[in-house]
Amino acid sequence: MLFLGSGAFGLPALKALIQSGHDVAMVVTQPDKPAGRGQHCTPTPIAAYAAELGLSVLKTANVNNPQVIAGLRAVVPDILVVIAFGQKIADAVLNLAPHGGVNLHGSLLPAFRGAAPIQRAILSGEHTTGVSVIRVTNIMDGGEILGQVPTPIGDCETSGELHNRLADLGAPLMQQVIRQIDTQSARAALQDSRRISQAPKLSKDMAYVDFAQSARQVSCRIRGLSPWPGCLAELLTADGEIRAKISLLKCREVFTGLQSGKPGEVLPGLYVACGSGAIELLTLQPVGKRPMDMRSFANGYGVKAGWHLQSRPPLPQGVS
C-alpha cells in the first residue's frame, strides 16, 4: 500500500490502517514548508507521524514526475490511499497499483467537491454533512462512491471542530472499503451529476462578517471561517472609539426573530444583534493574543451593552 497524504485530515486513517496490520510500504507527502513566526521548515502532519514510526517517506512537489513514478513502481503497491494530499494524481501513478487509488473526502459527494468541503458546508447553512470514500479518477472528486457516512453539523460547531470529527469518522470507513476491495465485495455507485456542488478554497479576503444578515447566516459565516481565516472585527465603544481588534471564532444563535438593536450592537447579556435575531459569541481572539471565551474578554476589556462590533472586507494590499 502507498499512502499519499499531507494534511492532518488523513492522520486518523493512516494510524488506523497501520494499527490494523496493513503494510504501508511508503508514505508520499508534500515537501516541508516554512511555518510559524520563525518560518522554520516544518514537515506535513503526515510526514511527521510517518517519521515517528520509521516508515519510508517520500517528499515531492510533483508525484507525477517520471523519476518519482519510477521510484514508486519499485514499491509494487497493491492500492493507493489518498487523503488530503494536495496534488492531482495522473493515470501513470494510479496504474501502478492493481486496485488503483481510493480517496477520503470530507463531504457527502457529489456535494461540495473541491478544496474546502468542510468549511463550505457550514458556510452554506447545511445541517448534515459526512465523509465519502471514492475511487480516484482524473475528475477532481468525481470518482465512483465506495462508501459514505453522514453526520449532523452541531449548532455551534466550527469548521476546525468538524474537520477533526470527520477525520475520525473517515478512518473506519476507509478500513471498511479496503477490506471490501480485498474480498472483492466492494460496491461502487456513480455520482449523481444533478447534485454536484463546488467547494473552492478559502482566502484571506473572506475574513469578515455582515451583521446585517440573519443570526443564522452570521453564525454560519463565523463558524465556517473558524479557525482560518476567521472573521475579523473591531469592537467600538458607545463613543465610537476602537477598543479592540479581534477574530471571531465560535458562536451560536440565541434569538432567531426580530429584536431591538442595530446590527453589530452589543446587547444586554453580551449578545450581538444581527439583521434579524442575535448571536452569542463563545470564543474570540484579540489580535496578537490567545483565543478566549467571551466572558473573560468582556471582563478584561470592560465590554458594555451599547458597544458595537463592525466587520469589513480587508483592504487590498497597498491600500490603507
Same domain, 143 and 229: no
pLDDT per position in the chain (320 positions), as tens? Answer: 999 999 999 999 999 999 999 999 999 999 998 776 666 789 999 999 999 999 999 999 999 999 999 999 999 999 999 999 999 999 999 999 999 999 999 999 999 999 999 999 999 999 999 999 999 999 999 999 999 999 999 999 999 999 999 999 999 999 999 999 999 999 999 999 999 999 999 999 999 999 999 999 999 999 999 999 999 999 999 999 999 999 999 999 998 766 678 999 999 989 999 999 999 999 999 999 999 999 999 999 999 999 999 998 876 655 44
Q: What is the CATH number of the domain that holds 167?
A: 3.40.50.170
> Total structural domains in the chain?
2
Tell me how far CA of residue 71 lies from CA of 88, 93, 228, in angstroms: 18, 11, 36
One-letter amino acid at 144 equals: E
236 CB contacts (<8 Å, ≥6 apart)? 242, 243, 307, 308, 309, 310
Residues 6+ apart with CB under 8 A from 120: 112, 114, 198, 199, 200, 224
Residue 64, all three cell numbers: 507525477
Torsion of CA 250, 252, 255, 260, to 10 degrees: 0
**Do 220 and 93 fall into the same domain?**
no
For residue 256, the model assigns a pLDDT of: 72
pTM of the full structure? 0.94
Residues 133 and 260 in one domain: no
C-alpha atoms less than 13 angstroms from C-alpha of 178 in its C-beta half-sphere: 28
Residue 228: which of 245, 210, 207 has the closest Cα? 207
Q: Which residues span the domain enclosing 27?
A: 2-195
Three-state SS annotation for 176-199: HHHHHHHCCCCCCECCCHHHCCEC
Same domain, 35 and 73: yes
Residue 160 counted as domain residue: yes
